[in-house]
Amino acid sequence: MKKLNLKYLLACLVIIVCLFISSGCPLPTLDNIPTTTTPPATTSVTPIDPEWMPPSADGQDQALPSIADVVALVRPSVVAINTEYVSYDIFNRPFTQQGAGSGWIIDEDGLIVTNNHVVEGADSVTVTLADGRTFPAETVRTDSLSDLAIVKVDAGNLPAARVGDSSILRVGDWVVAIGNSLGLGISATKGIVSAQGVSLSVSAGQTQEDLIQTDAAINPGNSGGPLVNIAGEVIGINSIKIAQVGVEGMGYAISSNTAKPIIQQLVQQGYVIRPWLGVGLYTVDEYAVLTYDLAVDKGALITEVAVPSPAAEAGIEAGDVITGFEGEEIASADDLIQAIHSSEIGQSVEITFWRGDTQNTTLATLAESPPS
C-alpha cells in the first residue's frame, strides 16, 4: 500500500512540473524571488570638535610624597615614656603596675610633651630617647581637662620637633602618627585628616574640643606622641581612639593650636588658669532623678561645693541642679563646663538652679582656678 502511494505522489509532481513548463512560466529561483528589505537611510552626524585630542599625561606626579623622609625628620624628637604605679591586691598587698606611652621634645633643654593620662598618678616616670639614652622625669606637670602634660628631664641639646599651625589643615591632608605603639618601640603609621574641630565626650563631665580626626592607626602606647604633617611639623598630639566593634580608623589628636597656650602655662606656672565656679558635677539622668527625687530630668547636678568658692558664696549647695547659665539652657555637666570656660575670670554670671521643687536664680563671680 505504501509503495502505491509513493508512486502516486511522484506522478503528481511530474505532471505539475510539466504544466509549468508548457505554460511558459519559469520555475522560481533565488534571483527572481521578490524582496521586501529596504536599505537603511543615511544620517548626517556633526562632530563636536574635529580637532579635539585627549589631555596629555605629561608631568603628572608618579608617586605619593615620601613618608620615609617625614619619619626620618621627626623620629629623633619622639620619646618612649614608661611609668610605674603601686597598686594593692584584694589582701591590701602592694604590687607594681607598669604603663607605656609616648611624648615628643618641644624644647632642646629637656621639655617633653605628652598626655595627662600617660603620666597621671605615676610613682615614677622614665623617658627613653631615640638614641637609647634613658632619663628619669625631674618634674611632671599635668592638666586633666585638656589631657596634656609636660615632663622635664635633666638633659640638653636635644632634637626638638617643629610645631606647625593646625588651623591651615584641610580634610584629606596627609598626616603621620609616630609613637611607642604597644610599648614595643617607636613606629609610624600614616593616614589623612578625616575631620577637624571635633568635640568628643571622653568621660562624665569632660569633653575634648577642637580635635583632629585621622584614620592613621593610633594604638595603645601612641598616646602623647606627635601627629605630623607632610612637612614634618607637629600639628597634633595623639590622644584618643574609638575602640568598638565595627569602628575602624577613628583616632583623635589634640590640635597644636589648642595645645600651645596650655603647654605654655604648664611650663611657666605649673598649672592652667581657667574661670572657676568650684563645684563637682554629674549629668542628670534617670538614676539621679530617682535617687535624689529631682524635680527636673535634665541639667547639671551639683555633687560637691568647694569652700571657699564662687559657688559657695552664691549660695549653691550640693544636691542643687543647674539648668541655666547666663540665659542659656544647661542640659548636662558638659554644657555647664563649656559655659564656664567660655566666660572670663572675674565675670558675674547669672545661674538658674532647682532646689527640691523650687526654681532659684543667683549671681556668682567666677574666680581663677586654683592649682590642681
Instruction: Give the bridge partners for 207, in sequence order.
Output: 201
C-alpha cell at 102: 609616648
Q: Of residues 77, 117, 146, 335, which has the active-site annotation?
A: 117
Instruction: Report which DSSP code applies to 76.
Output: G
C-alpha cell at 298: 535634665
Q: Of residues 166, 194, 223, 369, which has the active-site annotation?
A: 223
CA distance 356 to 209: 33
C-alpha cell at 361: 536664680
Catalytic-residue membership of 223: yes
* Burial (0-12, 13-18, 19+ Cβ within 10 Å), 321: buried
Catalytic-residue membership of 117: yes
CA distance 210 to 102: 21
Instruction: Answer whether 201's CB lies under 8 Å from 209's CB.
Output: no
What's the chain look like in SS3?
CHHHHHHHHHHHHHHHHHHHHHCCCCCCCCCCCCCCCCCCCCCCCCCCCCCCCCCCCCCCCCCCCCHHHHHHHHHHHEEEEEEEEEEECCCCCEEEEEEEEEEEEEECCCEEEECHHHHCCCCEEEEECCCCCEEECCEEEEECCCCEEEEECCCCCCCCCCECCHHHCCCCCEEEEEECHHHCCCEEEEEEEEEEEEEEEEECCEEEEEEEEECCCCCCCCCCCEEEECCCCEEEEEEEECCCCCCCCCEEEEEHHHHHHHHHHHHHCCCCCCEECCEEEEECCHHHHHHHCCCCCCCEEEEEECCCCHHHHCCCCCCCEEEEECCEECCCHHHHHHHHHCCCCCCEEEEEEEECCEEEEEEEECEECCCC
Q: Of residues 143, 146, 147, 239, which has the active-site annotation?
A: 147
Radius of gyration of the chain (CA): 39
Positions marked active-site: 117, 147, 223
